[in-house]
Amino acid sequence: MQRSLNGDTSETRSIHVQKFITLLEERTESYHSNTILRTATFCDPRFKDSYFTNSHKDHILRILRSDSQNIVSDDFADQSIPEIVEKPTSLFNQFLMDNCPIEEAPKKHDSLQEELDEYLRTPPISTSDPYDYWRSKTDLPELKKLAHKYLSIPSTSSESERLFSLSGLVCTPKRSSLKPETLDQLTFCSANLKIFGDI
């Protein structure tokens, strides 16, 4: 749209295209500001960060860091730390302990940032299934967890269709004067009879 607007000299066409762009932006603003939808779109390897006016990468990085800190703190909370009773030590042992450098755990380089960069470096996939993409991805473990969290299962109408057909079986011509509440209760009982059996 914007390219067509920049290249056209016709005044009326430019006005119409500009109105269309404005209306489109107004209607899609709620989708662009919804962080769940943005995160799900970012995790979809067909789109990644391509179609956002502002990059969503920083927000994803914050989510990943927050999730990884929660996982680490949960792991430490689950572990019971045995209480160490210190024995009185000699003056020499105390001297050694005071002057011995304490080795800190090696600082892990920012692997989350590297994961994000690697994900964005790869070209978007074509029209294949995003779930197949993430199922085969082992080199992006944190993003894979995030994708499983935010990419939803495609919804189907088969369960609601089953309930409608079950309601049709319950509401026969001889039982056509049932109240809606009674029909709902009979349909509920009939649908759950398979699960719970005869009560």
Which pLDDT tens digit goes with each residue over 74-85?
444 444 444 444
Residue labelled with tokens 């709620």 = 30
Q: Which pLDDT does position 107 carry in this prediction?
A: 40
Q: Are 170 and 187 in contact (CB under 8 A)?
A: yes
Could you tell me the residue ranges of all domains in the chain?
1-33, 35-77+110-154, 158-196
141 pLDDT above the threshold of 60:
yes
What is the Cα 38 distance to its own chain's centre? 9
More confident residue, 172 or 6: 172
Of 107, 116, 108, the closest CA to residue 141 belongs to: 116
Q: Which pLDDT does position 40 carry in this prediction?
A: 84
Query: How would residue 154 be classed by pLDDT, with cut points 50, 70 and 90?
Result: low
Amino acid at 186: L
Q: Which pLDDT does position 101 carry in this prediction?
A: 47
Query: How would residue 103 be classed by pLDDT, with cut points 50, 70 and 90?
Result: very low
Average pLDDT value for residue range 84-100: 56
Q: Are 80 and 59 in contact (CB under 8 A)?
A: no
Q: Are 2 and 20 in contact (CB under 8 A)?
A: no
Quick check: helix, strand or coil at residue 131?
helix
Query: How many Å apart are CA 185 and CA 163, to the nearest integer?
Result: 12
Task: Name every residue whose Cβ is closer than 8 Å to that of residue 145 and which is 6 or more positions away in sequence.
Answer: 67
Query: How many Å apart are CA 168 and CA 183, to the nearest integer?
Result: 10
Query: How many Å apart are CA 92 and CA 94, to the nearest integer?
Result: 5
Query: How many Å apart are CA 11 and CA 18, to the nearest integer?
Result: 11
Q: Which pLDDT does position 55 carry in this prediction?
A: 73
Q: Which pLDDT does position 198 carry in this prediction?
A: 65
